[in-house]
A and B are shown apart, each in its own frame.
Chain A
Amino acid sequence: MNTLSIARLSTRALLRNKLRSFLTMLGVVIGVGAVIAMVAIGEGAKRRVEETFESMGTNLLIVMPGSASSGGMRGGFGSQATLTWGDLAAVRTELKAVRTAAPVMRAGVVVQSEEQTWTTGLIGTSTEYFTIRNWRASSGRMFSEDEVESSAKVVVLGRTVVTNLFGAADPVGQTVRIRAIPFLVVGVLEGKGQSPMGSDYDDTLVTPYTTYSSKIAAGLGKFIAGSMFVSAMSERDTGRAQAELESLLRDRHRLAPGSDDDFSVRNLAEVARAQEQGTQILTTLLAAIATVSLLVGGIGIMNIMLVSVTERTREIGVRIAVGARSWDVLAQFLGEALALSLAGGAVGILFGLFAAAQLARLYHWPFLVHADVIVMSVGFSAAVGVVFGLYPARKASRLDPIEALRFE
């Protein structure tokens, strides 16, 4: 018999008992569906974490001034200025693993347009900030080096601020008043959404640090009245960049060996990696649970095939009597098991994709399905068919035709 006749024979046999075939398939449908859905959910969650961290900045490290020690009467990070403009210049030029760095000074301000007033956070920084945060203008432009040099009263607005001050109108070219000082709006930042902690990235104003120091908060001379954002060369370099930063700053601050740092470095890439690992473990766990249900589906196939072989003993006897060889019988029953598991797999894939898409929509996850997951599921369901079909099929092919024909 050729493959086509085996396939025909097997499907015929399955169609003769539609309800049973369907119920048997159901186990594999649920198994494969669960695997597909679980992996898709896991991938989606992982992607979502990645996106969140990407929106914070590219390979970002944040250097905060202040002591890492919580002992004594010393305040927490940021409570005292310890980072100097000299430190910033050294970080920019001396460290191999660092691409660039920017000062970040923050103040709460009231900002006014012609009609509206809004309270938000103002950031004073350099042009590198936009590169580090991976942030582009959605209209207008960022402020330039010249404007930093000349302490120009220019400002770039976050999307939330624009909505609250100007509604739908384009604010570029308009003037806003920050602490009653007029600033020219040169650009609007593209929307970034929420931070991992739930605050709104877009509720912000950005102005040159020189302007900030002269107009908003009086400068501290050689100290930066805020923190430093540092971007590593690549994601892999974040660890090295952190080590270099720590050693450079300790050196520059002349800290004796054994004494506490008077700054702290937060490596966001590391936090992101930990989060990703967490979701990866979750994905693996979900897939493992789903695989168990696939296994149960396979056992269901074996169970029904065994019942079927017993029930169809006479049929098998007739087939052998009219000339079926052992191989023909084996192939038929294996074919039936394979057809059940593959059909179940196909329905399961659709079912799983549907479930994953619905969940993704519900939780605003990206809907991610890799082709290899589908290929793997098809392979897995075929394997389930062969593995769990083999025993019943062998049993059928070894029946004694005389006994089989006599079977009641």
Chain B
Amino acid sequence: MTFNRSDVGAGAIFVGIGLFFGLMTLYGLDIGTARRMGPGYFPIVLSGLLVVFGITTILKGIGHEDVERGPLPWRGIAILLGVPVIFGLLIRPLGIAPVLLVTTFITSFASRRMSLIVALLLSLGLTVFCILVFVMGLGLPLRIFGPLVEPWTRPIFGVR
């Protein structure tokens, strides 16, 4: 069977999101009436519409030729989507300086052209730049060193 992967893929995502919100609403929120709408009224209407639009998109794609879209940058996808999670998990215990160093180093390797030396210099440079500009210059409320590493950094950098 020929089908256009763009249409079928997008349609499937729409149906998935529609079902997710629809079921969550049905099993947990009061829908109410048009006169006194409950917290579930607007979501149930929208998710119903989304499922319909999703199915229409899928049907539109069936029987159409696929278009070539090039290979997926798997390494980039894994790294770029993983880095915010790593940042979120480590920021409280470690503080901004170690986290930036680690995440920038990892991020660098999303490109196939990155070399080890460049990645090291880049992450070091960016970390120093960000701390000077954002924390010291603009005064964003970020701890440079978190509680987990502070005992070791205090003798070198003092209390931050």
B partners with A: no
| B interface residues (Cβ-Cβ under 8 A, vs A) | none
A residues adjacent to B (C-beta < 8 A):
none
